[in-house]
Amino acid sequence: MNHIWSVLCEKSSIDTETNLLSLFSCIEELSVVVDKQKMEEKGGKVVIPANFQLVSFWTIDDKEKDHNLRNKVELLSPNGEVLNQFNKSFDIKAGATRFRNRANISGMPIVGEGRYYLKLYQVSDAGENLVAQLPVEIKISYKILDKNKQ
């Protein structure tokens, strides 16, 4: 299987009549408000409550047989630390010449401002092959929340 493209977006939709894919709110940068005290209490790491989809498109050379696509996704901080990781597996029946997959991601751990990377690997018995590296700039506005007003 050959990886063609991947996009990080807020949501996507597939039209049932035409099978056309629409991507909504593609993500390159996020501006978030973080409670500075809460972030310090959690060791400098917080999870922002945002939902994303990682949408990928693949082509298949041998349509005569069934395939299993295994992926690994890593979220890396600006200093290269792996903050989150998950694996997905997809069974693809014979006859398919292309394949789209959507992986839902709930929440994003952050450790400060900077460029984060979502890395997508194709996994096989021979190892892992990096097929996409998606940058996301995180900009933070720090707030100190008054506990008496909560």
The 10 Å CB-count burial string (b at 16+, else e) for 52-66 is bbbbbebebeeeeee
With respect to residue 85, please indicate whether it lies within any of the assigned structural domains: yes
The confidence score (pLDDT) of residue 50 equals 86
Indicate whether 70 belongs to any domain.
Answer: yes
Per-residue pLDDT at 149: 53
Domain of 41: which CATH number? 2.60.40.10
Residue 147 lies in a domain: no
**What pTM does this model have?**
0.88
Q: Where are the alpha helices (DSSP H) in the chain?
A: 36-41
Domain total in the chain: 1
Query: Per the domain annotation, does 38 fall within a domain?
Result: yes
Looking at the domain assignment, is residue 149 inside a domain?
A: no
Domain of 7 in residue numbering reads as 2-142
Strands 2-14 vs 46-59: parallel, antiparallel or unpaired: antiparallel
* 8 Å CB contact between 93 and 87: no
Whether residue 25 lies inside any domain: the answer is yes
Does residue 137 sit within a domain? yes
pLDDT of residue 19: 92
The mean pLDDT values, 10 residues at a time, for the chain of 150 residues are 96 94 95 87 87 95 94 96 95 95 93 96 95 96 68
pLDDT at res. 148: 57
Q: Per the domain annotation, does 21 fall within a domain? A: yes
